[in-house]
Amino acid sequence: MNVDQHYENFPVASFFVPHQIRAHVVAIYRFARYADDIADEGDASDQSRLSQLALLHADVEALFRFETTTTPVVGALTPLRDAAISGISAQPFLDLLSAFSQDVHVKRYTTFDNLIDYCRRSANPVGRLMLALVAVQDAASIVASDQICTALQLINFWQDAAIDASRGRIYVPQHDFARLNVSDKNFPRHPDHRALMQAQCERTRAMMLAGASLIGVLRGRFRIEIAFTVAGGLRILEKIERNQFDVSIRPTLRWYDAPRLLFLATRALLNSKQNFP
C-alpha cells in the first residue's frame, strides 16, 4: 500500500520526518489508511465493513493488553507500543475506528459542531500521536495540533466533495445549506453551491492559520515537515478559490506548485510565533 498516494496533502514519511520516528509514523498512517479504506472503498456491505472495523477494534485492544493480534497493520504497531512513549495508548486508534465506523452509516451532518466532532476522532488523534512521538504534550500545542488536523480533514472534504457526493455523502453541514437557502440537490454542481463552499473554505483557512502557531513550538526537521503540511492545505484552498469555489473541479498538488509551497512553508516558519497572516 502506498501511503503517500492516499495522503497527498500531507508529506507522510517525507525527508523531513526525523529518522528516529519514521517507522512509527508509517505504521500509524498504514493503520489509519487501512481502516479508512475498509469504511470507504470497494463494494462491501455496510454490515461487512462494520464487522471488519470491529475486528480491528478488538485487535487494537488486544495489542495494548500485550496479547496476540491477527491483523498485520495492528501488529505493525507493536514497536510503537513497546517504545513506552508518553501519550501513546490504544485510545487514539480506537477514536479513529469510531470515526470510520460512523462513516459507514452517517451520510449527512446537521451542524458544523457535528462535523467537528467527527474530525475530533477522524483526524485529531493522528496529530496527537505525532506530538507524542516528538515529546510535545503541552495543552496549547495539542489545541494547535487539533486545529491543523481538523483543517486538513475539512480541506480533504472540500477537495473530494464531488467524489463523496457521488457516493451519497455530503460533509457540508445541512444547517449551512439552509442558512444560505440552497438545496443539496446536485451538490456540488449548481452555481449556488459556490457561495456555500466559499464560506466553508474561509472558515477552514482561519482554523489552519490559527493552528500554525504550533510550528513555533516544534524543533528540527519535524518543524519543517509540519510547515509544509500547513502549506499543502493552504495551497489546496487557494486552488479551490482560483476555481471560483467550484469543487466539482478537484484540486490537486502538482510538481509546479513547489515554488508556492516553499513560499507558504517559509512564511509559516517565519511567522509561527506570531499570528500567521
Q: Where are the domains of the chain?
A: 20-105, 107-277
Q: CB-hemisphere CA count at 13 Å for 83?
A: 19
Separation CA 23–CA 86 (nearest Å):
17
What is the pLDDT of the chain when averaged over all its residues? 92
pLDDT attached to residue 9: 47
Type of residue numbered 226: I
In CATH, the number for domain 107-277 is: 1.10.600.10
pLDDT attached to residue 172: 97
Q: Which residue from 83, 77, 63, 66 is spatially nearest to 34, judged by alpha carbons? A: 77
Quick one: cell of 46? 455496510
Tell me the backbone φ, ψ of residue 182, rounded to 5 degrees.
-120, 140
Q: Is the pLDDT of residue 276 over 50?
A: no
Give the pLDDT confidence of 44-94 residue by residue, as tens digits: 999 999 999 999 999 999 999 999 999 999 999 999 999 988 889 999 999
Q: CB-hemisphere CA count at 13 Å for 167?
A: 19
Work out the average pLDDT over 184-200: 93
Quick one: cell of 218? 516544534
118 touches 109 (CB < 8 A): yes
Cis-peptide into 277, omega within 30 deg: no
Q: Is the pLDDT of residue 188 over 90?
A: yes
pLDDT attached to residue 1: 31
Please state the pTM of the whole predicted model: 0.92
Share of the chain above pLDDT 90, in %: 83
- Residues sharing a CB contact under 8 Å with residue 167, sequence separation 6 or more, in sequence order: 40
Give the pLDDT confidence of 202-238 residue by residue, as tens digits: 999 999 999 999 999 999 999 999 999 999 999 999 9
pLDDT attached to residue 87: 82
Work out the average pLDDT over 130-141: 95
Q: Is the pLDDT of residue 27 over 60?
A: yes
Return the higher-pLDDT residue of 200 and 43: 200
pLDDT attached to residue 3: 41
Ramachandran quadrant class, 185 (left: phi over 0; alpha: psi -120 to 50; beta: rest): beta
